[in-house]
């Protein structure tokens, strides 16, 4: 016959079986001894079999009682684990903010904003994930990040982009050794780069996208000598004469300013790369992400 076995009954049985003493079980559970006896009797009637033998005034478990005790013990342990897990959730940070960005933006553009956010909302944990602009913008569509701060690339139609308020654009510069023949130029054009070996940023980089777009518009085919993603490595290659590079001013001034290199602007209209905050167009942001956006755009 089926019946509803509740946790309170099982807990009383567990303590009575562990102590083999109804009085001690009642004391530990802060209930009366008759209440323990009544619940045990109710269980025995429901199961249709004795759970304790009471021969010679000595309490012992029957075979059915020993079997039930093995299950009761496991369930009590799980109940304690569940309680501890819930307490852990209550003590955990009140939300998580997951931001995707590029390595250079993580160091330069986001540092002060994230510090300000942490000071205002110390209970929110911050996770910063890094990669190319293309990779990080796509990551918000798959729940890897809540939002991202990236250089402007072609976005999926499901992405909403807003210009980064502190620096909506970054100027691209031609990076050459100080003694290079273009180092003294007031400005260069993409035609000046024809035949010049270039150290190009990796595919998916917003810098590369902006440069390639200008090359295509001017009908210039670049000479790509090396592709690389690490800015320090790119700077070393340029310094050693393996080629020139095109980098954003933010990257150049933050990563390579101490190197014997020169950043030359582009003439005929600066070559610029947009910087955006991107987020899913249709999905609702969590509370942590909304707080960060409010701080970013409203101060």
Domain 7-91 has CATH 3.40.50.300: no
Q: Which of 139-148, 192-201, 206-215, 249-258 has the lowest mean pLDDT?
A: 249-258
pLDDT value, residue 2: 60
Model-wide pTM > 0.85: no
* Domain regions of the chain by residue span: 7-91, 96-167+275-298, 170-272
Contacts 24+ apart (CB under 8 A), 251-257: 251/104, 251/207, 252/173, 252/175, 254/104, 254/107, 254/108, 255/104, 255/107, 255/231, 256/175, 256/231, 256/232
For residue 236, the tally of other CB atoms under 10 A from its CB is 15
CATH number for 96-167+275-298: choose from 3.40.50.150, 3.40.190.10, 3.40.390.10, 3.30.460.10: 3.40.190.10
Q: One fold for both 96-167+275-298 and 170-272?
A: yes
Q: Is the pLDDT of residue 66 over 70?
A: yes
The mean pLDDT of 192-217, rounded to a whole number, is 94
pLDDT value, residue 283: 83
* pLDDT, the chain, mean: 91
Q: Which of 106-115, 181-190, 268-277 has the lowest mean pLDDT?
A: 106-115
Q: Is the pLDDT of residue 62 over 80?
A: yes
The topology (CATH level 3) of 170-272 is: D-Maltodextrin-Binding Protein; domain 2 (3.40.190)
Question: Where does the pLDDT of residue 89 fall: very low under 50, low under 70, confident under 90, or very high at 90 and above?
Answer: low
């Amino acid at each position: 016959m089926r019946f509803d076995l509740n946790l309170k009954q099982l807990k009383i049985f567990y303590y009575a079986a562990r102590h083999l003493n109804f009085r001690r079980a009642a004391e530990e559970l802060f209930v009366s001894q008759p209440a323990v006896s009544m619940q045990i009797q109710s269980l025995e009637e429901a199961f249709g079999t004795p759970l304790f033998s009471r021969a010679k005034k000595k309490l012992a478990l029957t075979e059915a009682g020993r079997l039930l005790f093995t299950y009761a013990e496991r369930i009590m342990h799980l109940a304690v684990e569940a309680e501890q897990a819930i307490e852990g959730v209550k003590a955990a940070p009140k939300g998580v903010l997951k931001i995707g960005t590029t390595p250079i933006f993580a160091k330069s553009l986001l540092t002060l904003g994230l510090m300000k956010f942490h000071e205002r909302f110390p209970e929110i944990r911050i996770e910063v994930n890094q990669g190319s602009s293309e990779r990080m913008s796509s990551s918000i569509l798959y729940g890897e990040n809540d939002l991202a701060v990236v250089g402007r690339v072609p976005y999926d139609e499901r992405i909403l982009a807003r210009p980064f308020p502190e620096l909506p654009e970054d100027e691209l510069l031609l990076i050459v050794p100080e003694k290079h023949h273009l180092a003294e130029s007031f400005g260069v054009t993409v035609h000046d780069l024809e035949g010049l070996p270039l150290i190009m940023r990796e595919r998916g980089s917003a810098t590369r996208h902006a440069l390639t777009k200008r090359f295509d518009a001017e009908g210039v085919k670049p000479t790509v000598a090396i592709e690389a993603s690490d800015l320090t490595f790119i700077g070393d290659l340029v310094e050693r004469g393996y080629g020139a590079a095109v980098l954003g001013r933010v990257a150049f001034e933050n990563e390579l300013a101490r190197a014997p290199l020169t950043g030359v602007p582009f003439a005929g209209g600066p070559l610029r790369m947009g910087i955006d905050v991107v987020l899913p167009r249709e999905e609702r942001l969590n509370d942590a992400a909304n707080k960060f956006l409010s701080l970013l755009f409203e101060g």
